[in-house]
A and B are shown apart, each in its own frame.
Chain A
Amino acid sequence: AQSVTQLDSQVPVFEEAPVELRCNYSSSVSVYLFWYVQYPNQGLQLLLKYLSGSTLVKGINGFEAEFNKSQTSFHLRKPSVHISDTAEYFCAVSDESAGGTSYGKLTFGQGTILTVHP
């Protein structure tokens, strides 16, 4: 079984400051990794994904994440946040192995609420 832990439920930060949202996962198989953002009263929007290749992944809105296999982490970073980045962020994993029991199924973390203050 897979699991995802987002280490911070809430992260307050001032505008133009850097931010890191932490995500650790547990899985017995190789995984794909995703970060989604959810603005109030909206669905989830894909920020970025790691499927293979370079461990540093760049996404939309200036976000990036680094896959660290040894630490089973996929932390999300942005060097300078804006007020408009205020939202809830979800880390998710899916099984990479075709035919695996969790293949195609996203397992989500509990979410991190990022609040950007002026």
Chain B
Amino acid sequence: EAGVAQSPRYKIIEKRQSVAFWCNPISGHATLYWYQQILGQGPKLLIQFQNNGVVDDSQLPKDRFSAERLKGVDSTLKIQPAKLEDSAVYLCASSLNYGSGGAADTQYFGPGTRLTVL
């Protein structure tokens, strides 16, 4: 079974530029998550989708971050404009079905995209 795919793996941009990340979840997984992991910290949830609807985006800085999940499969996360403090690893995860409880909610992570903002 293929895992969660993310691209690009690395990205370097200057502040005020825009950037986009792509995620393809495990086939059949209805729930998709984007996390931000700053160096030395644990991942922090940015946004959670169930199919193509948003379940939780309470920690997404909506003035500069946006995310979409068209057709309930792939997802893109965009930052515009980027700030120095956005330098982090952006992790995508998926789970079988939000709300089913237990094993179905276990999250599987992609390799991440390391963003450096200069």
Q: How far is the CA of A25 from the CA of B16 in the complex (A)?
A: 38
The answer to whether B111 touches A43 (Cβ under 8 A) is yes
Question: Which residues of the other chain, A, contact B4 by a CB distance below 8 angstroms?
Answer: 43
Q: How far is the CA of A51 from the CA of B42 in the complex (A)?
A: 21
Q: How far is the CA of A108 from the CA of B41 in the complex (A)?
A: 9
Question: Which residues of the other chain, B, contact A105 by a CB distance below 8 angstroms?
Answer: 45, 48, 56
Q: How far is the CA of A43 from the CA of B109 in the complex (A)?
A: 6
Count residues of chain B with CB under 8 A from any CB of chain A. Answer: 30
Residue A63, interface by CB 8 Å: no
Q: How far is the CA of A14 from the CA of B109 in the complex (A)?
A: 29
The answer to whether B31 touches A104 (Cβ under 8 A) is yes
Among B42, B45, B101, B110, the residue within 8 A (CB) of A43 is B110
Q: How far is the CA of A110 from the CA of B55 in the complex (A)?
A: 25
B65, chain A: closest CB distance, angstroms: 17
- B residues sitting closer than 8 Å to A (CB atoms) are 4, 6, 31, 33, 40-45, 48, 55-56, 91, 93, 95, 98-99, 101-103, 105-112, 114
Known: A44-B43, A44-B93, A104-B99. 7 other contacts (CB 8 A): A4-B42, A43-B110, A44-B91, A45-B109, A46-B107, A90-B43, A111-B40
